[in-house]
Chains A and B, each alone.
Chain A
């Protein structure tokens, strides 16, 4: 299967700070998705972004498929942003491969 690596594995931010999370993948992919898993374990879709840039409020994402990476930007972080951020990629068929996640803690 495809390898998906996320960095950093852990991140602690002061409320109001900005951050960039990275997702590298080992082969060409057809689609990529970013998720947020909140402290209660719920998984929330953030972006479906096989290429290009998208923005949703304080969050934005960029995928450069030719260079096999995607970035998730969080600006003006809030305590509710805490949790684990996963990227997942699809190479062929219906199989999503997940990275091991970035655990984010935002402190007031």
Chain B
């Protein structure tokens, strides 16, 4: 089982460049999430998609856009990258949202550096 797959694993961008981080899950989960993790900190929610066709802002959405392409795929886009967006990005999925008695499953992360 692949679980949650993120691509790419590493990326270096210049300030102002755009990029899309890809995430796909093969567990038939309804909910998907994007987090960022900065050094020495816990994860912070950027955007989530409770179900196919819906997306909502999380704690730190500024500078990002998302697309829930289908039930399997949830992408995160940086339109004009800034050094403050240097971070490790994690995608996660769960069968249902936070109220459900289902855990979140995480991808291995994308390490993004913006120069």
Name A's B-contacting residues (CB within 8 A).
1, 4, 30-31, 33, 35, 41-45, 48, 50, 86, 88, 90, 92-101
A63 to B42, CA, bound (A): 20
Q: Are A95 and B106 in contact (CB under 8 A)?
A: no
Among B40, B41, B98, B101, which residue has its beta carbon within 8 angstroms of that of A96? B98
Closest Cβ of chain A: how far from B58's Cβ, in Å?
6
Closest Cβ of chain A: how far from B110's Cβ, in Å?
11
Q: Are A33 and B99 in contact (CB under 8 A)?
A: no
Closest Cβ of chain A: how far from B109's Cβ, in Å?
5
Q: Are B42 and A98 in contact (CB under 8 A)?
A: yes
Given contacts A4-B42, A31-B98, contact A94 B103 (CB under 8 A): no
Among B35, B45, B105, which residue has its beta carbon within 8 angstroms of that of A45? B105
Chain B 35-53 against A: per-residue CB contact (8 Å), 1 yes, 0 no? 1000011111100101000
Among A35, A43, A97, A100, which residue has its beta carbon within 8 angstroms of that of B41? A100
B interface residue count range (under 10 / 10 to 19 / 20 to 34 / 35 or more)? 20 to 34
Among B35, B99, B104, which residue has its beta carbon within 8 angstroms of that of A30? B99
Q: Are A98 and B43 in contact (CB under 8 A)?
A: yes
Known: A94-B98, A95-B59, A99-B42. 14 other contacts (CB 8 A): A30-B99, A35-B106, A43-B90, A43-B92, A48-B103, A86-B42, A88-B42, A88-B43, A93-B56, A93-B99, A94-B48, A94-B97, A95-B98, A100-B40
Among B42, B97, B104, which residue has its beta carbon within 8 angstroms of that of A93? B97
B108 part of interface (Cβ distance < 8 Å) = yes
Q: Which residue of B lies closest to A31 (CB)?
A: B98
B-side contacts of A98, CB under 8 Å: 35, 42-44
Closest Cβ of chain A: how far from B34's Cβ, in Å?
12
